[in-house]
Structure 1
């Protein structure tokens, strides 16, 4: 139910609520819209211009890779000769040490697929910084929760855990609450409704740490033209103009904060990167629209100088990468919080007592499905990437974020096109 208090009814395909054993339920009987009338996922149709489950890309044309075409006709990426991003990546999150050794904070990066092996097979990083987070606030895991589903509509293959690795063998969980230790199989399974942690021991309050900036950075630092005319090199403030209002609304009161950052050099011929994340919060639904709005920020700083005379003009982007389009103004974005994600939680996410939340600890609350985030960068630049999560305005009710599959993207995206960069549902 909408208030998360009344009992969840038995399966009723078409009622808009995902109930076991449904894969999806969009509340209608329209075929081909992502969820079929029998509440199974619409099979991916390569070439329709929509990236669907199992596809790595889909540009909707019949050009099989080439100049300005970065997607093959089998919906896998095309790597042009000038793009020196790895075509294949090594795995480095497949040893027990990555899960159990909390003393080595670089395991956070390994869990996301950042291996520091060689430029032709991994992301190479330097200057790794972190908040020295308490152990209970981060965990490398092989799975999260207990819900299993038929991910490929094939009864002959094993079911897959809903929250399972997007690459390699593991992923990273960060939280402003507590995360239980994984079981012998590396799976984190929380007790029901246990995300009411009051204080996990991570730092409270204070300004955003480097490289994160709350101040609007568009319009050469004056704000008002989101994603355009970024103040790179001068302030490296948030060119999305999505953080400042949220930060000021909560009086900059970020508690139980966890963050980390690293530098990396963009490969030649490469114009972007992607990563995947899911967002769960015990503040939903009670505190939607309030000051109690936990905040996730993924931030980039690209120091490349502006070149308005280039073709196309170069206006490097520094700022928040985890933004979603503002439904009330398509030229603007919203930061990742329970208020912004409210419509996504209701669908295609999971709420209240839906079975997909089993074992997450967020059973009466909400988790999103996996999202993909895209950032646009300039080839050859030494960029800084950071991730930040905090409990805003109080220390009650926890939020957790799952992070995985950080990869270079030859094509990249155009930050000024809000629906090109930023966050896209899977």
Structure 2
């Protein structure tokens, strides 16, 4: 549900070249020919090659004409805590099957005064194939609220939500943090691109920040039918655009667990960590102290 001006199916974003693939854009599809660009502001028209190049600062980009009311998340998403049978306190465990079992949305929702604006969202329902234990997708989070509004009421948010029997709630994390400007500020500095980084050229986020590509992982149960949903919104205002690029949704046959469930996840004899990896091309120091884990082929 969105006005057309708030999203694009693009063949690339920005003008920065990938240093590891000369002649290719840094922000290009991870699979196929196009990826999905979602914005809390207004998205420019694509160029003749189908690439999105923003010439206007996203800091000055506002109102995408999507609804500012009601102040709620569309079903099946919920900002309320859902772990420990809805009592909270045990993130990712004891899911009540309705609310957010990660308990990660509520504090960010509260920080933004429970006031989502310029909301766009979507969902699909799918049956999990036999032998499949999870799913993955790739995303990039760009924020023009970085660095001015880190820790403040303006705390734009992207949510990816699963209704699996294995887990219900937000699955979109990087370095253990949900996709908001306040939560991801440190990740942008350590593993993404900020300030005058040339990688931001042509995105409209010059002098602001992005995470770079992140692979999200989450659990499912083989044979179940579950819904995946997503939502993107301004929080506390209707300006200072945030963009999330989403691509390459696929099944995972190896499974994963959240760091909170198994602190040794990702090490020998333990399953992969959910939502805690980056592509080595984006962060050559991934896997070392102070950097997130490296994504490996699933």
Match of 2:4 in 1: 135
| Counterpart-to-counterpart distance in 2, 1:278 and 1:194 | 15
Q: Which runs of 4+ in 1 moved over 6 A?
A: none
CA deviation vs aligned residue, 1:347-395 (integer Å, no higher than 9, x gap): 3211122111110011121122100000101001111101111000001
**TM-score of the pair, normalised by structure 2:** 0.86
List runs of 5+ in structure 2 lacking aligned partners: 266-272, 280-298
More strand by share: 2
Match of 1:292 in 2: 154
Match of 1:352 in 2: 195
Q: Residue 196 in 1 paired to residue 60 in 2? A: yes
Q: Superposition pairs for residues 5-16 of structure 1, below 5 Å?
A: none
Q: Superposition pairs for residues 17-416 of structure 1, below 5 Å?
A: 131=1, 133-152=2-21, 158-205=22-69, 206-232=71-97, 236-302=98-164, 304=165, 316-325=166-175, 333-415=176-258, 416=261
Checking the alignment, whether the CA contact within 8 Å between 1:192 and 1:363 is kept in structure 2 is no
List runs of 5+ in structure 1 lacking aligned partners: 1-130, 153-157, 305-315, 326-332
**TM-score of the pair, normalised by structure 1:** 0.61
| Counterpart-to-counterpart distance in 2, 1:372 and 1:275 | 6
Per the TM alignment, residue 249 of structure 1 is displaced from its structure 2 partner at its CA by 2.4
For the residue of structure 2 that corresponds to 1:336, the secondary structure is strand
CA deviation vs aligned residue, 1:88-115 (integer Å, no higher than 9, x gap): xxxxxxxxxxxxxxxxxxxxxxxxxxxx
The structure having more radius of gyration, on CA atoms, is 1
| Counterpart-to-counterpart distance in 1, 2:192 and 2:161 | 24
Per the TM alignment, residue 424 of structure 1 is displaced from its structure 2 partner at its CA by 2.0
Residues paired across the two proteins, number: 268
Shift in alpha-carbon separation, 1:228–1:385, aligned structure 2, 3 A: same
